[in-house]
Every structure is written in structure tokens, then in C-alpha cells.
Amino acid sequence: MTAESVKGIPFAEEIERSGIFDRATDRFPNSLVVHGVPPHEDRGGIRYFLPHFLYSIPHRAISDLLHHRLAIIVLSNPGKLVDALEAVGLEVSNRSGVPDLEPGSIVANHRFEDASGGTWHVELHNLNWHIFELIYEFKSIQHLVAVALSTCDVAQKGFAELHGIQLLNGPPNDSKMLSTPK
């Protein structure tokens, strides 16, 4: 690909029209993160994600990826991922202060109560690995939400069993999610 071959293609306009910046809230900043698929070896992606030669794409495309004749670019907006997590009742913070997808940039919390009035919380770190799974394996945002909710559920039930307490409220659930963002 050369600069001449893409001249005249309105990339910025196409990206805006895609809806990637349409958000439910603006509490977490909009940003655009560009990913090359398959992941670069220095990110550890080769070890943690589905190898690109197992993608559900034509064999010719796999061969072109292997010989660097094909590039797949995925654009993501971390703010849309945060919106999806918040839509199901999780509280999300950006501990790193940078709206990217590096460790600590997205931390989700779920608070729950026990029968005696005590408040507890589950804190989910390293969601970036599950987000990269979405990107490098072409999964939907609902997958990230399902992983976060099931992690909260297991942690909450385990905590209750370990400490012998009765819980008042269950884990959040995805029925709170009104739309299905991608």
C-alpha cells in the first residue's frame, strides 16, 4: 500500500460515520486505538490469543497474512467498552489516566451487600487481556461483558461461601444492557 493508492479515500469521514465515537456518556474519554491483526510478538499475543492461521477466513488470506501481503487493522474506542460495562451496573475507572488499553487503564468494580448491612466489592483488573481477546479473535463487546459478569458472580459467590455470609444482592447482569454495542 502506498500513500498514492489511498489518496482521495475519506478515512476520517468513514471512521466518524461508523459510529465508533457515538457514546452513551462522555465520562470516559473517546479515543481511537489502532491494532494490527495478528498481534505483534512483543505484546505476547502469539501465546495468549487464537493463532491467525486458525482464523475462520479463507486459506489464501491466511497465506497472505503469513507472507505480509495482507494487513488487518482493527480500530477500537475504549470509551465504548467502558459504556458497555457500565450499562450492566459495573463501576469503571481509569487508573492509568490514559484512555488506551494497557494494564490498569480499565478497572471494573462491583459492590454488593451482605445481610448484616456490610458492603463489599469485587475489583476486576487486567481486563485489557480480555479486550485484546475481542480484538485479536474478532469477538463482540458482549463477550467482554459476559466475562466481567461471570467473574463478578464467581468472586461474589466464593466470598459468601468462604466467609459464611448471606448476600442481599446478586451479581450485575446483562439484562440491564439496553442496546448491543459492537
Which distant-in-sequence residues (6+ apart) come within 8 Å of 129 by Cβ?
Answer: 48
CA 18-24-26 angle, to 5 degrees, is 100
Q: Are 66 and 53 in contact (CB under 8 A)?
A: yes
Question: Which residue is it, cell 460515520?
Answer: 17
Q: Would you give per-residue pLDDT tens digits along the chain (182 residues)?
A: 555 666 677 777 888 888 888 876 777 778 888 888 877 665 555 567 888 778 888 999 889 988 888 888 888 888 889 999 999 999 998 877 777 777 778 899 998 888 888 888 889 988 888 998 898 888 999 999 999 999 998 988 888 888 888 877 665 665 554 444 44
For the entire predicted model, the pTM comes to: 0.78
Rounded distance between C-alpha atoms, residue 101 and residue 104, angstroms: 8
Q: Are 82 and 108 in contact (CB under 8 A)?
A: no
